[in-house]
A and B are shown apart, each in its own frame.
Chain A
Amino acid sequence: MDIPPGLRYTKEHEWVRAEGDLGTVGITDYAQDQLGDVVFLSLPEPGKQLEQMAVFGEIESVKAVSELYSPVSGEVVEANVALADKPELVNDSPYDEGWLIRVRLADAAELDGLLSGEQYREYLEQEAE
């Protein structure tokens, strides 16, 4: 299971990569593997204000639909429009081309409350038991 260091993670299996005051958000390799083939995403429009751990969209795989939770608060500045035609990017490249949204961070301190890669891995191992 790929869990890159340097990102922050949630127990809902999202990740956030902070660069300056922007945070890029996606779902983890574990999440895409559990979901299976992704076929459709419902993502927010730029300008939408997100609250930390509130639902910001939905992800549909062939199997089922799941809700997406924002790891951070802030304003959506961009959604990954490439996913409209190629939702499978979430499966093929969950940490890179398959990113979901970019958010202008309202409170960078929120990042400290999220899991590190190491903590997320431990969490997955606990859940597996």
Chain B
Amino acid sequence: MSQLWIIANVTFREAARRKILWTALLGAAAFLSLFATGLHFQVSDAHFARIAPVLRAQILSSILQIGFYAIDMLAVLMTVLTSVDAISGEIASSTIHAVATKPVHRWQLLLGKWLGFAAMIAAYVALGVGGVVAIGHFVARTAMRGSLPGAAFIYLECLLVLTLTFLFGTIFSTLTNGVMVLGLHGIAFIGGWLEQIGAVTQSERLLNLGILSSVIMPSEAIWRRASYIMQSSVARTLDLSPFASRSAPSAAMMLYAVGYLIVGLCLALHRFDQRDL
């Protein structure tokens, strides 16, 4: 097992040095600065102070929701862009040969890399979500309900995307891998909106189309679950933010997403074990 942790450790250090991670961190910092400034302007606005406290809380909650949405989007993009060549790139450059010829099982090599990236993503999500929560607390004296399970769902979404990137990395070239994962996430994103609209217009066909897209790629469904549990029941009714969820994907869908991740990881391990390096 020690080989697994050695690989996880070196992968974490390798991932943490990638320029794209630092670019994503800068992007997150720029966003958080803008977000903090905007929130400050809102709470210090004289007109805002005259709004009824209940409604004021919901508006603040919706602004925080936008913050979480942006962090979720940045985290997913960062996950894909940093890990897209973790397998295919190292095979193409032959970097993997020096490690794969050591007394290391293929599963240890792949899982170690996955764990290294998972640790790096955990740090990113913690920083991003922590930043939004801190800004909410210090600038607007408001707290988002369910932000901890919300962060856990955002992390689950990133892990799902990471797993798909690893799976496709064992099959396709780096470029094809990136296009496929982002394409699937795009399907999930569009499907999520169709499902939301279907919930508003009570269109069963739109709802089913959204569910089908979530079955194909459940990443957006995980975000909508995260978004839903972070909203108050009043905010759900008022529907103040386009980034919030009117309908929550079911617990069964979340179990499906976890199963999807596990099956994807098992397929990646199997495929990596069988392929030529």
Do A and B come from the same complex?
A: no
B interface list, Cβ under 8 A from A: none
Q: A residues near B, CB below 8 A?
A: none
